[in-house]
Amino acid sequence: MFRNKFKKSETGLFVLLLTCFLLVGCSQEKQVIEEKEAVIEDSNTITMPEAIPSDFYFIVEFGVDKRNVINTYEDTITKDLVADGTVTTNLTFTAEEMDMIYQKMKEINITGTKNFNPQTNCLRKPFSEDEWEITINLEVFTHTVSEQYCEISDDAKQLIELRNYVFSLVKNKEEYKKLPEANGGYE
């Protein structure tokens, strides 16, 4: 009888230990999976270096049909003249201006994952679009924003504000001021 009770308690102890082992193992496996997912998510966001890298360049095409272009790869600006086509000229930012643009990009985490999806079905015409290509430490990042929708996401607003900031620097340059005025408008 004593032996039978011992066997029952031994079996119960074995089942209890097995259950604990499985629970701990499953818990650790879940933790490993969560850690791997976090690493993958982090690898999709590149941390920008503190100082501006020597290979920092960008191009932004914007406006209706993206006919305005600021291109630091080629040091050019293209202006949309609407009915008169486009005109391109050389334009270079100073090192200080490039650093200010870089700092603005860091502030909005330009290398991170962005949400540009609108929360509305309301559409407008004509509409402006922005298309960015940015090189930082041999990595190329692209973002596209459309103002086709009546409402835009916060990430889209940040990118449009960045474009407006860069364009304000361009408008103050003598090279841009010498370009002809646009003729006509978009309907």
pLDDT, position 35: 41
pLDDT, position 41: 39
Q: Which of 159, 130, 155, 156 is nearest to 144 (CA)?
A: 130
**Average pLDDT of the residues of the chain:** 82
Q: In a 10 Å sphere around its CB, with 0-12 CB exposed, 13-18 middle and 19+ buried, how is residue 133 labelled?
A: middle
pLDDT, position 38: 38
The pLDDT tens digits for 99-131 are 999 999 999 999 998 888 766 777 888 888 999
* Helix or strand holding residue 70 (H, E): strand 68-71
pLDDT, position 147: 85
Unique residue bearing structure tokens 């990430």: 155
Average pLDDT over residues 150-166: 92
The pLDDT tens digits for 22-65 are 555 555 555 544 443 433 334 455 789 999 999 999 999 999 99
Q: Say which residue, 13 or 181, is predicted with more confidence.
A: 181
Compute, in degrees rounded to 10, the torsion defined by CA atoms 162, 64, 71, 116. Answer: 40
pLDDT, position 134: 97
Q: Kindly report the backbone phi and psi dihedral angles of residue 71, in degrees, each rounded to the nearest multiple of 5, phi listed first.
A: -130, 105
1, 2, 3, 45 from 11: Cα distances, Å: 15, 14, 12, 51
